[in-house]
Homo-oligomer: A and B are copies of this chain.
Amino acid sequence: MSRPLPLLTGAPPAERADAARNRAALLEAAAELMAGCGVAALTMDAVATRAGVGKGTVFRRFGSREGLMASLLNHREAEWQAGVISGPPPLGPGADPLDRLLAFGASRLRLHRDQAALIEAAGAVWGENHAVLGFAALHVRLLLAELGVEGDLRYLATALIAPLGVPVLRQQIDHGQMTEAQVLDGWTELVRRVV
C-alpha cells in the first residue's frame, strides 16, 4: 500500500526497476557519445552497446531515434521552462511584460542555437510535442495579454515564435550572413511593431 492506487496516479502505471535503470544508463551513454563525436555518433546500436543492453531495449524505451533525441533535449527544456516560470527577471516573473517578452526571445534564440543539432535530429517528435511549443506559445500569449494587445493572441504568439525556429535561424545566420545580434534586433523590432 506504499504506492498510490492506480486510480490516483497519472496514466503511466509506473516503470519497473530494471527498466528505469536501463533508461538512465541509455541516456548517460547517449550523452557521453554525443560529447565525444556529436549527434552523428548517436547510432542506436552504439548507444545500446555502450549502455550494455540490446538494441530492442532502446526502441522499447524511446520508440525511435528521434524519441531518444527528444528525451535528451527534455533536460535542457525543463531547465529553461523552470527559468521562465520561477527564475530571476527579466526572463522570470517580476519584470515588465515587454522586458520579459524580449528576454524570452533572446533566451529562446540562445537555446535553439545551442541545441540546434539535437533539435534537428529529434525532428517531428520534438515539433509535435505539445509540452514544448505549447508552453512557449502559452507564455507569450499571456505576456501579450498583460501588455494589453488585442486580437487573436493565440495566433500572434505562434507568429512571434515561428521566426525563432531552428531552420529559420540556420538560414539567416549560417547562410544569410546575419549575426545573432542582428537577428535579435530584428526580432525585437518585430515585437515592438506587434504590441
Contact = CB atoms under 8 A, between A and B. Distances in A.
Interface stretch (A19-27, A58-66, A83-91, A163-171): A163-171
A127 B186 contact: no
Contact of A156 (B133, B182, B186): B186
B159 A127 contact: no
A190 B133 contact: no
Interface string A44-72: 00000000000000000000000000000
Interface string A140-184: 000000000001101110110011010110011001101000110
A185 to B, nearest CB: 7
A37 B155 CA distance: 34
A131 B189 CA distance: 27
A76 to B, nearest CB: 20
B158 A163 contact: yes
A182 B158 CA distance: 13
A193 interface: yes
A175 B155 CA distance: 14
Contacts of A162: 159, 162-163, 165, 168
Contact of A193 (B128, B154, B172, B193): B193
A187 interface: yes
A130 interface: yes
A193 to B, nearest CB: 5
Q: Which of A128, A151, A159, A182 has most B Cβ within 10 Å?
A: A159
Contact of A190 (B127, B156, B175, B185): B156
9 contacts: A155-B172, A155-B185, A155-B186, A156-B186, A159-B162, A159-B163, A163-B163, A165-B168, A193-B194
